[in-house]
Structure formats: C-alpha cells, structure tokens
Amino acid sequence: MTDAPLITDSHCHIDFPDFEGDLDGVVARARDAGVHRMVTICTRLRNEPAVRAIAEAHVPVFYAAGTHPMSAADEPMASVEELERLARHPKFVGIGETGLDYHYTAETKARQQESLTIHIEAARRTGLPLIIHARDADEDMARILTEEHRAGAFGCVMHCFSSGAALAEAALDLGFYLSMSGIAAFPRSDALRAIFAAAPADRILVETDAPYLAPPPHRGKRNEPAYTAFTARKGADVFGMDYADFAAQTEANFERLFTKAVLPPQAA
C-alpha cells in the first residue's frame, strides 16, 4: 500500500480502447500513486453496460453516464426515466457528462441544450451530481445553469474546467465545483491557474480526463488515473498548500459532492 496522500480521479474514460488489456495495470498504478478511487465516465448511453462492467470488476472504480454534447446529434435523446433507472446501480454516482460544446459542434446547439436540460432534471430527481462539459459556450452555459438551478436545485461539477472567469464565478455562485485537469498544469495555463486560485479551496476537484490531457511530465502521451497526482501537486502550488493538505481537501470536496462513491472499509 502506498504512503502517498490519497486522492480521487473524479473523471476519466478507462473504457476507451486506449486502455484495452491494461485495466488491471491502470488500477494498480493509480493505487501506487495514491489515487485510490476513480470515476469512469460513459459518454454514449449505448456503451453503459460495458462501462458498468468495468466498475463492477474493479473495487476502486465508480461510474457515471450520459450523452456527451458532441455526440448529442448522433445519439438517441436520453430520457429522464432512463437516467433514473441507470442511477439505481450502486456504483453509478453521477449524471453525465453532458453540457455544451460549440467548438466543433455549434450547429447542434439546440439539441445539445435539450439534452442538457434532460440531464439536469435527472440530477434533480436522483440527487446525483451533474457532470458538465463546457467549451466555447460560456454565456449559454452560465444562463442555462442559473435558470435551471433557480427552478430546482442540483449539485454539479464543471469537469476539466478551462473556460473563462465569468463562467467560473457563475458556477461557484450556484454552489458548484470546478475540476482541475492536466490543462491546469500546462506551462502556458497561467490565466486558468489564476481562475482556480480565486476559487474557494473547498470547491475544487482533481481529474485526468484520461486518456486525454496528460499533465507534465507525461504531456503528449496517454493519460491515466495515476497521473492525477501530478495535477494535484500543481493544485497544491496554486493554493499555496502542502500537498497532503490539498489532497485531503479535494478528498473532502469529492465526498461532499459524490456522496454515493463510498469505498468499502477494506479498500478506503
């Protein structure tokens, strides 16, 4: 067992082909780095059985499911009832990822927004946190989240946050969380680090978004949950905290939001 401070990779995609045949190694290397828990995210509901099977086979792995905004036009529209049904599984801990992405798929914005509101209602009904992907859609995202939250509260994490300060402020004002990915550790991410530094430390999560966005010193290679530790160390620097203290803070934050992601005592 590692002596490293324990942290959680709050968002990864270990069902992707990049990890085929290596899941046992991925989980073992994560454990050795102090990453004792991870949430793997299903981005197309038709893949949910395979993602669920990974969570069932590995004690440290929990999962969430939804329709990624970039896939919203290509996938059947999710229903609140379908998401509620999936949420009954003991290792299903979040709704999404969902959101808005106008970078490559702005032409589907109306369908993305419809999908987003369905996921929000599922988060309300289940009490599970909403997992938001936002890219080049800050104004619409802030507006929709604010209007929907006013209509009925829900928990939320802005996954892999790399948007502007105005969206960060809007999310924090709603009581939401911001998640640091490897982007926050990139050398040219000073402006993003400043946004995180202005946020309360008790609203920060850490993640990989593996297999994407590996932090230095692994940038450009396949990311994996073990590398959450590199982002978390950069996060500790951003907040001027000892690494162990920052790790403990992000653990408390994760458990406050993802209340269902509870490890059995022998694995905690």
The third-level CATH classification (topology) of the domain covering 7-257 is TIM Barrel (3.20.20)
pLDDT at residue 118, rounded to an integer: 98
214-218 — which CB contacts under 8 Å span 24+ positions?
Answer: 214/182, 215/181, 215/182, 215/184, 215/185, 215/186, 216/182, 216/185, 216/186, 216/187
Measured CA to CA in angstroms, residue 171 lies from 133, 134, 139, 165 at distances of 13, 12, 12, 10
Whether the CB-CB separation of 208 and 11 falls below 8 Å is answered with yes
Q: How do residues 125-160 score in pLDDT, each as one tens digit?
A: 999 999 999 999 999 999 999 999 999 999 999 999
| Mean pLDDT score of the chain | 97
Q: Distance between CA atoms of 138 and 148, rounded to whole angstroms? A: 15
- What angle, 0 to 180 degrees and rounded to 10, lies between the N-to-C axes of helices 243-257 and 228-239? 110
Q: pLDDT confidence of 79, banded at 50, 70, 90?
A: very high
Residue 214 pLDDT greater than 70, yes or no? yes
Q: Distance between CA atoms of 182 and 215, rounded to whole angstroms? A: 4
Strands (E) located in 91-195: 92-101, 130-135, 156-158, 177-180
pTM of the model: 0.97
pLDDT at residue 151, rounded to an integer: 97
Residue 34 pLDDT greater than 60, yes or no? yes
- Give backbone dihedrals phi and psi of 65, rounded to 5 degrees, phi first: -150, 150
Q: How do residues 215-261 score in pLDDT, each as one tens digit?
A: 999 999 999 999 999 999 999 999 999 999 999 999 999 999 999 99
Which has the higher per-residue pLDDT, 2 or 214?
214
Residue 21 pLDDT greater than 80, yes or no? yes
Q: Distance between CA atoms of 185 and 233, rounded to whole angstroms? A: 9
